[in-house]
Amino acid sequence: MNNGRFPISLHILTLLARAEGSLLSSDFIAGSINCNPVIVRKEISNLRNSGLVESKEGKNGGAALAKPAESIMLSDIYGAVRQSSLLGNSRNTPNPDCAVGRDINTHLEHLYAEVEDVLVNKLHGISLADFSRQFD
Amino acid sequence: MNNGRFPISLHILTLLARAEGSLLSSDFIAGSINCNPVIVRKEISNLRNSGLVESKEGKNGGAALAKPAESIMLSDIYGAVRQSSLLGNSRNTPNPDCAVGRDINTHLEHLYAEVEDVLVNKLHGISLADFSRQFD
DNA sequence: CATTCTGTAATTAATGTTATTACAGTACAA
DNA sequence: TTGTACTGTAATAACATTAATTACAGAATG
């Protein structure tokens, strides 16, 4: 994952945590992140699917946390945005006639699972409340 | 890091570990990875700069490990290829007039440093010898 | 019922990554 | 001493991914 989705989602959630329940519009959030509001709405849509955020349409609509910031762990955010393996994958399928090429993807997957496990454990120890408290 | 550099470098090094000192050509290695030999030469050049590999030009040239596979840790490989933060960065600079926007990059950096630390520790516990033994 | 907002699709623009081409230089071996 | 088989590296092109933009239907409010 080397795109901006994790930091953008964390930014959104930090703003929502600090808004303490009042609805924030995608325009306002985009103004803080300095990105396009459609990107914000897409990320909010994703966070909603993960149960972290709820949103309201129409005039005076916007988004708010779906549960207390104390109970949202950074690992939840990571899980919501994760899409590819942490340390990358080669684009081509390795040569099956080579002892290393044949099995490397299996062993890589195993390694990545182990490594991601320690990362997720670490993130599981930090709540959104912890993170957003730093801005006080 | 979401490109293929880590897996490609690990693939190269695994082949070299198993070659036990005999030189492998970039063409041979590229054949196992199934990528372009120039990519292999570039990665080898990078690994050489990190002191993990040595190579010889000219006829019958090629690459070999610069030190025993037992003393090359996966964290060394990670360090050799790492170029961007693990969990990504937003492309735009956030709004400095917003309490969150103003400080989020500082807090993100701090978080990333902590998280990367546990990842590197994990990788530091696995040697290239450990990894390549799996292919026996 | 005009206004302000979300939700989402479709397109374009920007960026990042890998492949390819090209060629100079090195080492070996006949 | 010259042909051959390699590395090293730059420059470019092809491809993939990511973010921005445009467009518009639909929801809630006053």
DSSP B93: P
Q: How far apart are CA A5 and CA A77, in angstroms?
A: 10
- Dihedral angle sign, alpha carbons of residues A18, A22, A23, A25: negative
Q: Which nucleotide is nearest to B28 (CA to C1')?
A: D6
CA A37 / C1′ C16 distance in Å: 23
Contact A103 B134 (CB under 8 A): yes
Q: Is B21 exposed, middle or buried (0-12, 13-18, 19+ CB in 10 A)?
A: exposed
pLDDT tens per residue across span B76-124 = 999 999 988 899 998 899 999 999 999 999 999 999 999 999 999 999 9
Domain span holding position B37: 5-133
Distance from CA of B67 to the nearest CA of A (A): 20
Contact B104 A74 (CB under 8 A): no
Say whether the CB atom of B42 is under 7 angstroms from strand D.
Answer: yes
Q: How far apart are CA A26 and CA B17, in angstroms?
A: 52
Closest CA to B127 of B43, B63, B52, B55: B52
What local confidence, expressed as pLDDT, does residue A2 receive? 60
**Distances B50 to A71, B38, B65, B72, B132 between C-alpha atoms, Å:** 42, 19, 11, 11, 20
pLDDT higher than threshold 80 for residue B1:
no
What local confidence, expressed as pLDDT, does residue B31 receive? 97
Contact A1 B131 (CB under 8 A): no
Give me the amino acid identity at A11: H
Each residue's pLDDT expressed in tens, for chain A with a length of 136 residues = 668 999 999 999 999 999 999 999 999 999 999 999 999 999 999 999 999 999 999 999 999 999 999 999 999 999 999 988 899 998 899 999 999 999 999 999 999 999 999 999 999 999 999 999 999 9
pLDDT tens per residue across span B14-43 = 999 999 999 999 999 999 999 999 999 999
Say whether the CB atom of A36 is under 7 angstroms from strand D.
Answer: yes
Contact B34 A118 (CB under 8 A): no
Q: Residue A49 corresponds to which tokens in the numbers above?
A: 């699917």
Say whether the CB atom of A66 is under 7 angstroms from strand D.
Answer: no
CB atoms within 10 A of CB B134: 14
Q: How far apart are CA A68 and CA B71, in angstroms?
A: 47
Angle of the A5-19 helix axis to the A74-81 helix axis, nearest 10:
130
Nearest residue to D28 via alpha carbon and C1': A58
Per the CB < 8 A criterion, the answer to whether B17 and B129 are in contact is: yes
What local confidence, expressed as pLDDT, does residue A1 receive? 60
Closest CA to B41 of B13, B63, B23: B63
CATH number, domain with residue A83: 1.10.10.10
The domain total for chain A is 1
Which residue in B86, B107, B135 is closest to A99 by CB distance?
Answer: B135
Q: Residue A87 corresponds to which tokens in the numbers above?
A: 């340390």
CA B55 / C1′ D3 distance in Å: 23
Residue of A nearest to B114 (CA): A122
Contact A87 B7 (CB under 8 A): yes
CA B56 / C1′ C29 distance in Å: 17
Q: How far apart are CA B64 and CA A112, in angstroms?
A: 26
